Structure 1
Amino acid sequence: MRTSLPDLQIDGRGDTLGEQVYSRLREAILLGVLKPGQKLSVRALANSLNVSLTPTRDALARLIAEDVVKQGPDRTVFVPVLDLGEINEVFDLRCLLEKRLAEQAVANSLKSLAPMLRKIQNKLVLSIEDHDYKRVVARNFEFHFTLYAAANAKVTVKLVENLWLRVGPMLNLLYPEFDRTRSGVRKHAAILECVEKGAVQEVGMAIQSDILGAKSELIRVVSSLMTSSR
């Protein structure tokens, strides 16, 4: 697969260039801009980000060390493809941690939380209607992590973010089927209703329902792909 980072640019401000390249690549993986199995050429990535080879190579080395991307025996770097066991493990861990974050976020009773989430949800729906699936994935991430940020639990949020890194590229496989069913939209609406009501236990269950629904659909798609490739 050709390496492409159409939505990510280095802005030249803030962190060092190496940190910016690392952050942009990490974001590309997290938001599913890069696809499962996609090969990552140092030169192509550097060209996409308009930077030299050295910070790009260093950023990839960090991601390999973190087991976010893989390196093959021929030194080819690629985005991993999760098997069914890994999908189950990641999503089950997400259920445990994200349920806790969502409940704590609602318990903190931040009045601005529900309006922020509704605004993001409206943008997500517009992205679905435009069939802009990269933006759908980005809005989905924004919705969840805006909610979790309100829990004031930075260590847990970081753990959850690392789990999302594992599954981010696999989310590409959910569309356009997820678009047609609108399952994710309905799950978010249920979460938002719980936030608006201040329903602590209910929001935890709604989050778990959302995660398990995505897990079920992803397992179905991956199983289908495995069957067709035999």
Structure 2
Amino acid sequence: MSKKSRTKSSKTSSGSPTAKKKALKTRASIPAKPAKTPRTPASKSAVTLAKPGSHRAASKQLNSSKSVSPPAKAKSGLAEGQKAPSFRLPRDGGDVVTLADYAGQKLVLFFYPRADTPGCTREAIDFTRLAGAFAAAGTAVLGVSADPLKAQEKFRDKHKLGIPLISDETHQMLEAYGAWGEKSMYGKSFLGILRTTILVGADGKLARIWRNVRVDGHADEVLEAARSL
């Protein structure tokens, strides 16, 4: 066969309908390449949420919420109108003081956290300053804390206090009058004396109760309440 005949024969075979069908089948059997998935803004935002800084900020918020402590709470359910709980405790100078010693007269009991601390000192000085006015109103005044007698006497002498100071180291009286309970400082909870003042009427019943006392002007307020009984 001549060269021209072979060329003509190949062109004729490739252009036949049968050859075209075979070519289409071959192309269809080849799998197409998967298209690339474009990155969307949502994926970027997900990365942003996963940054370490955001987790640290969330932890700070949780910690700060946990550090918020509730107000100081007393264990006693003592309320105005109830009979004053009895007590018998030592006072500065070595004597013993009881509730019965003040039968038939009004009595102020102010409970303070610790002798010779700034707030307690101002409060004791204020009650000393008004001691004469309380006496004129037929009202005795006693200061109460858990300090030992030596600390109470040193406190009395240093600031020239003119009111008896009671030592309740066992906390029995403090608990009975609701002046002992849970406190908080710097995010930590502990048990201690809650600054409290009680006004006992001449009938031996609780006439007024002041909880979580603020020192400034407090003694004057108690005096007015005693005068009004």
Whose radius of gyration is greater, 1 or 2? 2
How does the TM-score come out when normalised to structure 2? Answer: 0.21
Which structure carries more helix by proportion?
1
Which structure carries more strand by proportion?
2
How does the TM-score come out when normalised to structure 1? Answer: 0.21
